[in-house]
Structure 1
Amino acid sequence: MRTNAACSRAVRAAILQAPVSDREFRATLPETAGMIDLASKLISEGQGLELMPREANPDSPITAYRFHSLCAYMGDDDMFSSDLSDDQLKQRLAHMSNTPCQVIFSMADEYVPDYVDKKALVQRLCKALGGAEKVEIEWGNHSLSNRVDEAVQAIMQFVKSGGPNGWDDPWS
């Protein structure tokens, strides 16, 4: 059985790699608006755990609640959208403001619509997180599969540069 003390020490730092808006990306797809309407209807009828039609998410099954959470404005998982106000971002991310964070943002992320000012967004996210360390990987794709060495170096720097007290330094 975990104690509260054990749980409070469980997360000593966080690295957010590719913090992008599912909602903003999905809004570029023609079927999304209708699927949000369907998900909202199912949720209002108490059927949020029902599966959405396959075209809502062709890669894997998704419940109405989860689809709505990801795709609707201010859904539960609408965490990184560029059109959220600074107050809304802070409301959604400030719970991490006392946790050392690194934000690794791929500047060529294929899931970020072209209209999004990526540099401004990553700056706003870092501020909402209470001053997180910002890493911009130029030309990096969403998974950083084309910039693995840069990503690994950034992560190692973060850990080495005084990660949370109590971490064992695996490089010493």
Structure 2
Amino acid sequence: MIDLATSMIKEGLGSDLMPKEADPSPITAYRYNSLCAYTGDDDMFSSDLNEHQLRMRLGHMSSTPCQVIFSMDDEYVPEYVDKKALVERLCRAMGGAEKVEIEYGNHSLSNRVQEAVQAIIDFVKREGPKGWDDPWS
């Protein structure tokens, strides 16, 4: 499917939809290639990126408080990927981002919404604005 997306882009059809077999949701050839091709524009979190590639893609976040919320049962992460090691590598590449592992969470966290929302709220309270600009006080 990556070859098909690449050829569609070369033919000026990057905005056209990929066949249904490529993804259950409608997706353009350009977006599919961005997400799925090795080092595509949006290949930000792949387990096969080396440390340098991850730093080049995510290192700009090192000066911003960040939280990586990782779905430990993400259906889009292959079984052979060590998810705990991957989330550690992502956090390190971002300059020490806070790690949150949501056990049994699916890709969209639709089965663990409360946990995800609470993690985000806790992070914003801790890392967000202080003083007169603090919306929590």
TM range (shorter): 0.7 to 0.9
| Structure 2 gaps, min length 5 | none
Give the equivalent residue in structure 1 for 2:134. 169
Give the equivalent residue in structure 1 for 2:89. 124
- Give the aligned residue type for 1:88: Q
Alignment equivalent of 1:89, drawn from 35, 54, 59:
54
Q: Compared with structure 1, are the counterparts of its residues 153 and 51 closer, same or farther at alpha carbon in structure 2 (3 Å cutoff)?
A: closer
Q: Compared with structure 1, are the counterparts of its residues 130 and 65 closer, same or farther at alpha carbon in structure 2 (3 Å cutoff)?
A: same
Aligned residues: CA RMSD: 2.0
Matched, 1:114 2:79: yes
Q: Compared with structure 1, are the counterparts of its residues 146 and 92 closer, same or farther at alpha carbon in structure 2 (3 Å cutoff)?
A: same
Q: Percent identity?
A: 76
Give the equivalent residue in structure 2 for 1:41. 7
CA drift of 1:156 comes to 1.7
> TM-score of the superposition, structure 1-length normalised?
0.71
Q: Using CA pairs below 8 Å that are at least 6 residues apart, which structure has the higher relative contact order? A: 1
Q: Give the secondary-structure state (helix, strand or coil) at the position aligned to 2:63.
A: coil
Point out the structure with the larger helix share.
2
For this pair of structures, how many residues does the alignment match? Answer: 137
| Structure 1 gaps, min length 5 | 1-34
CA drift of 1:110 comes to 1.9
CA drift of 1:166 comes to 7.2
Q: Give the secondary-structure state (helix, strand or coil) at the position aligned to 1:97.
A: helix
Matched, 1:55 2:21: yes
Q: Give the secondary-structure state (helix, strand or coil) at the position aligned to 2:92.
A: helix
Alignment equivalent of 1:64, drawn from 24, 29, 39:
29
